[in-house]
Amino acid sequence: MSAIRPRRLRETRALRRLTAETVLDAAHLVLPMFVRENAASPVPIASMPGVVQHTLGSLADAVADAAVSGIGGVMLFGVPATRDARGSGAVDPEGILNLATRVAVTAAAGALVVQTDLCLDEFTDHGHCGVLDERGRVDNDATVEVYASMAQAQAQAGSEVLGLSGMMDGQVTAVRAALDGAGHPDVALLAYSAKYASSLYGPFRDAVESTLIGDRRSYQLDPGNRREGLREALLDLAEGADMVMVKPAGWYLDVLANVAAVSDVPVWAYQVSGEYAMVEATAGQGWIDRRRAIVESVRAIHRAGADVVLTYWARELAGWIRTGDIE
């Protein structure tokens, strides 16, 4: 009979609560939100049950509600009515994402952080995250120049954190310089440092009505590459990223743990649309307990080292955290 009994600390609910290593907190959850240009009413997204493309009006209401719920922030994505080869809607101050940012900043009233996705894929007619060269390849340096203008437009609209999700080399340096030069030294950069070319973005591409033909493997990471994920994070830290991210989250917890072990800035993880859809679909069949699966999936991401989790369940989780319904 052993005197060493780890089970002692699991005996009662109060002991388990006292000794829990990973504590969920609404302040460290961020809700991604979609806003559709010219939408008359919110549009449901078939592959993401419970998530909608907002109108500017429904966005305002949802952001105000998110602020009351105690979550830490919202991350905005725009769905423009028209697209072109250079993604002009992204740099237009009247483009849907920049309009939405103004609406969200007003609705948030300082209670949560308003953030924006800084990438061209929603705005280009070919669906790539950058502009193309004459051979049809994504042109790194030309793209980074557009990102710099896009960053200025987003900062001007009031975004406080720019999510650099395009995976172009040197994008953090270029965007930082552009913001500093335009009088926005306080706008923070969240680098999607280790963003993998994942099947799990499928539902998101429905959500933004992506026109992409082909794939993003010439700029997003190969799912098998762990060391390269760490390299990308170290480069972004050296370029002055204020925060770094690993994406997707659940299938990349090893990369997340590696990045968390070396990062001297907050580490984020994005629980992406496919992660959401898999749980919703399975729970919809009655094959797993929906609430427990959601709580466990987000807790696991925090356990692996994420300080902040971007998740489509942020608002719902905040409610469960408040009522203590997270066991």
Shortest distance in whole angstroms from residue 219 CB to ligand PBG = 9
Alpha helices in the chain (DSSP H): 13-18, 56-69, 96-108, 140-157, 171-181, 202-207, 226-238, 253-262, 273-284, 290-303, 314-323
Residue type, 245: M
B/e letters for 60-72, b = 16+ CB within 10 Å, e = fewer, are bebbbebbebbbb
Q: Work out which of 51, 245, 272, 277 binds ligand PBG, going by CB under 6 A.
A: 272
Only segment of 11-19, 113-121, 177-185, 256-264 that touches ligand PBG (CB under 6 A): 113-121
Q: Work out which of 69, 143, 165, 297 binds ligand PBG, going by CB under 6 A.
A: 165
Q: For residue 88, say whether it is annotated as part of any ligand binding site.
A: no
Shortest distance in whole angstroms from residue 110 CB to ligand PBG = 26
Q: Which of 36, 195, 302, 315 is catalytic?
A: 195
168 or 174: whose CB is closer to ligand PBG? 168
Alpha-carbon span 39 to 41, nearest angstrom: 6
Number of residues lying near ligand PBG (CB under 6 A): 10
Question: Phi, psi at residue 81, to the nearest 5°?
Answer: -80, -30
Q: For residue 291, say whether it is annotated as part of any ligand binding site.
A: no
Q: Which of residues 42-71 bind ligand PBG (CB under 6 A)?
A: none
Q: For residue 273, say whether it is annotated as part of any ligand binding site.
A: yes
Length of the chain: 327
Q: Which of 247, 249, 274, 310 is catalytic?
A: 247
204 contributes a contact to ligand PBG by CB under 6 A: yes
Q: Which residues pair with 44 in a beta bridge?
A: 52
260 or 272: whose CB is closer to ligand PBG? 272
Q: For residue 2, say whether it is annotated as part of any ligand binding site.
A: no
Distances, alpha carbon 152 to alpha carbons 49, 118, 146, in Å: 34, 11, 10
**Do the Cβ atoms of 291 and 59 come closer than 8 Å?**
no
Residue 247 among the catalytic residues? yes
Only segment of 116-124, 258-266, 285-293, 298-306 that touches ligand PBG (CB under 6 A): 116-124
127 or 305: whose CB is closer to ligand PBG? 127
232 contributes a contact to ligand PBG by CB under 6 A: no
Residue 75 among the catalytic residues? no
Q: For residue 263, say whether it is annotated as part of any ligand binding site.
A: no
Alpha-carbon span 202 to 310, nearest angstrom: 17
Nearest-10 crossing angle of helices 314-323, 290-303: 100
Alpha-carbon span 285 to 195, nearest angstrom: 30
Site residues for ligand PBG per CB under 6 A: 117, 119, 121, 129, 165, 201, 204, 216, 272-273
Mark the binding-site residues for 5-aminolevulinate, compressed into ranges.
205, 216, 273, 312
Mark the binding-site residues, compressed into ranges.
205, 216, 232, 273, 312
The catalytic residues are 195, 247
